């Protein structure tokens, strides 16, 4: 007998999340000095964090003997979004919120719908509570909402939508999303993961949170890990009906967000200059990378995020050649895209270093 036999079979079925390779790990594996390595693998902000957030975090370091009080960040999110605090749930990263949603609505005997090539955490969170997965084939690498609606079964309780999606960068225009919300059964919850919302070009951005009034079955998740540059602090927020927020708070760990994260996130929300600078850098970097792909003859998927997927062909080999040059990007074979790699938009110099390394890797 192995102790594993005593575990839940649906837990044994999980393949663990594969994070982007840390810089320190590549340095150990290949003996490359840390300063020569660039990591464009986890959609982190190349500008780092807002100086205001850093200052707030350093002040909060003096309070670490106390349990956290999340009131002020909730109030700041309420001010930022225009919603009452009863609609806001804070998470240890938005990942935590995805887990809470799964624990509230999914269980063995229930099913959940998500798209092929969608964010890996959806099947992970769903499997961890024993739900049955319904993966719907993508259309042009993005969510096929008609097919997702058709896949809903009587036992379906939750649908996952990433908009923009990671790792493809695809985006479903808001009018389509709204029509989808109106067309599905009212007893199915939709988790709308907007981790990259702040990177959307202004002309396609629409206030999806305005719909909360119309759809009590909608949960929107946002994060401080991406444009706000706080990935290492683990903090995000959810917006939902007061009923869903209340349910999530029942399964939430009492002190899931720490003092440093709460303080930094609150300051980051107010640093509009830093957000604008990050958006601008991303826009310029997106042009730099996509022009580079065109010049080198690589197909890529037009992206609304801070990353681009490109068709590398023998992606594993290209990835290995990039790693040898100290460039870390993200293989996405685990997302059903074995020929593709995903690269995060970096600084101008990082993007150039990546494109030079890619050109060498090619041949
Ligand atoms: C990065 C990312 C998140 C954010 O995860 P955190 O737990 O907030 O760091 C959520 N959803 C998607 C699609 C992402 O790419």
Provide the token pair at 116: 């092929």
With the C-alpha atoms ordered 352, 357, 358, 362, is the resulting torsion angle positive or negative? positive
222/116 same-domain check: yes
* Mean pLDDT, rounded, for 81-104: 97
Helices (H), 160-222: 174-183
Provide the token pair at 177: 């999303």
User: What's the helix, strand, coil split of the chain in %, to 5?
Assistant: 45, 15, 40
Q: How many domains does the chain have?
A: 2
pLDDT at 79 (0 to 100): 94
Is 56 among the domain residues? no
CB 97 near ligand 1, within 6 Å: no
The predicted-structure confidence for 117-164, as pLDDT tens digits, reads as follows 999 999 999 999 999 999 999 999 999 999 999 999 999 999 999 999
87/202 same-domain check: yes
Examine the pLDDT at 253 and tell me if it is beyond 80: yes
Domain boundary among 222, 242, 270: 270
Strand partners, 159: 113, 190
The CATH code of the domain that includes 103 is 3.40.640.10
Q: Where are the beta strands (DSSP E) in 96-155?
A: 111-115, 132-136
Strand partners, 176: none
pLDDT at 288 (0 to 100): 98
Is 85 among the domain residues? yes
pLDDT at 19 (0 to 100): 83
- CA-to-CA distance for 211 and 218, rounded, in angstroms? 8
pLDDT at 251 (0 to 100): 97
Q: Angle at the Cα of 246 (from 240 to 251), degrees rounded to 5?
A: 110
The CATH code of the domain that includes 42 is 3.90.1150.10
CB 126 near ligand 1, within 6 Å: no
* Mean pLDDT, rounded, for 50-66: 97
pLDDT at 197 (0 to 100): 95
Is 55 among the domain residues? no
* Mean pLDDT, rounded, for 99-113: 98
- CA-to-CA distance for 205 and 213, rounded, in angstroms? 18
pLDDT at 275 (0 to 100): 97
Give residues with Cβ within 8 angstroms of 344, minimum separation 6: 39, 40, 41, 42, 43, 44, 46, 306, 307, 329, 330
Q: Where are the beta strands (DSSP E) in 224-260?
A: 236-240
CB 162 near ligand 1, within 6 Å: yes
- CA-to-CA distance for 106 and 124, rounded, in angstroms? 12
Q: Do residues 129 and 87 lie in contact, with contact meaning Cβ atoms separated by under 8 Å? A: no
In the 3-class helix/strand/coil scheme, how is 23-72 assigned residue by residue? HHHHHHHHCCCHHHCEECCCCCCCCCCCHHHHHHHHHHHHHCCCCCCCHH
Closest atom of ligand 1 to 224 CA is 8
Closest atom of ligand 1 to 42 CA is 1
The predicted-structure confidence for 151-190, as pLDDT tens digits, reads as follows 999 999 999 999 999 999 999 999 999 999 999 999 999 9
pLDDT at 106 (0 to 100): 98
Q: Which of 14-23, 268-277, 353-362 has the lowest mean pLDDT?
A: 14-23
Is 65 among the domain residues? yes
Cis, peptide link before residue 328, omega less than 30° from 0: no
- For ligand 1, atom 15, the nearest C-alpha belongs to 166
DSSP state of 109: T
Q: Where are the beta strands (DSSP E) in 66-146?
A: 88-91, 111-115, 132-136
The predicted-structure confidence for 24-40, as pLDDT tens digits, reads as follows 999 999 999 999 999 99
- For ligand 1, atom 10, the nearest C-alpha belongs to 195
Separation of CA 348 and ligand 1 centre (Å)? 24
290/259 same-domain check: no
Range of the domain at 288: 3-48+273-362
* Mean pLDDT, rounded, for 76-91: 96
The predicted-structure confidence for 274-296, as pLDDT tens digits, reads as follows 999 999 999 999 999 999 999 99
Q: Which helix (H) or strand (E) holds 354?
A: helix 348-362
The two beta strands, 307-311 and 340-344, are antiparallel
- For ligand 1, atom 3, the nearest C-alpha belongs to 195
| 3-class DSSP assignment, residue 242 | helix
Examine the pLDDT at 363 and tell me if it is beyond 70: no
pTM of the model: 0.96
CB 199 near ligand 1, within 6 Å: no
pLDDT at 207 (0 to 100): 77
222/314 same-domain check: no
Q: Where are the beta strands (DSSP E) in 124-247?
A: 132-136, 156-162, 189-193, 218-223, 236-240
CB 303 near ligand 1, within 6 Å: no
pLDDT at 236 (0 to 100): 98
- Backbone dihedral angles phi then psi of residue 81, each to the nearest 5 degrees: -100, -15
Domain boundary among 220, 252, 270: 270
pLDDT at 17 (0 to 100): 85
pLDDT at 18 (0 to 100): 81
207/71 same-domain check: yes
Share of the chain above pLDDT 90, in %: 92
281/312 same-domain check: yes
Torsion of CA 250, 252, 258, 259, to 10 degrees: -20
């Amino acid at each position: 007998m192995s102790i594993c036999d005593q575990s839940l079979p649906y837990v044994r079925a999980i393949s663990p999340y594969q994070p982007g390779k840390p810089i320190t790990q590549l340095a150990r594996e290949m003996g490359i000095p840390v300063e020569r390595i660039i990591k464009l693998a986890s959609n982190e902000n190349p500008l780092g964090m807002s100086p205001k957030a850093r200052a707030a975090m350093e002040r909060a370091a003096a309070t670490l003997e106390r349990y956290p009080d999340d009131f002020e960040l909730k109030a700041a999110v309420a001010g930022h979004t225009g919603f009452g605090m009863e609609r806001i749930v804070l998470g240890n990263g938005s990942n935590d919120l995805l887990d809470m949603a799964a624990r509230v609505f999914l269980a063995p005997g229930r099913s959940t719908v998500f798209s092929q090539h969608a964010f890996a955490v959806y099947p992970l969170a769903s499997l961890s509570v024993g739900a049955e997965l319904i993966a719907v084939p993508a259309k042009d690498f993005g969510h096929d909402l008609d097919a997702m609606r058709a896949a809903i079964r009587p036992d379906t309780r939750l649908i996952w939508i990433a908009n923009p999606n990671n790792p493809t960068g695809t985006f479903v225009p808001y009018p389509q999303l709204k029509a989808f919300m109106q067309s599905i059964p009212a007893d199915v919850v939709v988790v709308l993961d907007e981790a990259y919302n702040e990177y959307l070009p202004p002309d396609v951005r629409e206030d999806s949170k305005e719909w909360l009034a119309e759809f009590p079955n909608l949960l929107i998740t946002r994060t401080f890990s991406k444009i706000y540059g706080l990935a290492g602090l683990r903090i995000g927020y959810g917006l939902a009906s007061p009923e869903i927020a209340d349910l999530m708070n029942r399964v939430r760990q009492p002190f899931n967000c720490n003092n440093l994260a709460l303080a930094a996130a609150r300051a980051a929300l107010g640093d509009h200059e830093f957000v604008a600078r990050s958006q601008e850098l991303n826009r310029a970097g997106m042009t730099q990378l996509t022009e580079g792909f065109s010049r080198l003859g690589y197909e890529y998927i037009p992206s609304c995020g801070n990353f681009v997927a490109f068709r590398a062909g023998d992606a594993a080999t290209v990835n290995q050649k990039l790693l040898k040059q100290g460039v870390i990007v993200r293989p996405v074979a685990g997302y059903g895209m074995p020929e593709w790699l995903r690269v995060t938009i970096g600084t101008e110099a990082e993007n150039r270093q990546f494109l030079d390394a890619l050109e060498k890797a090619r041949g």
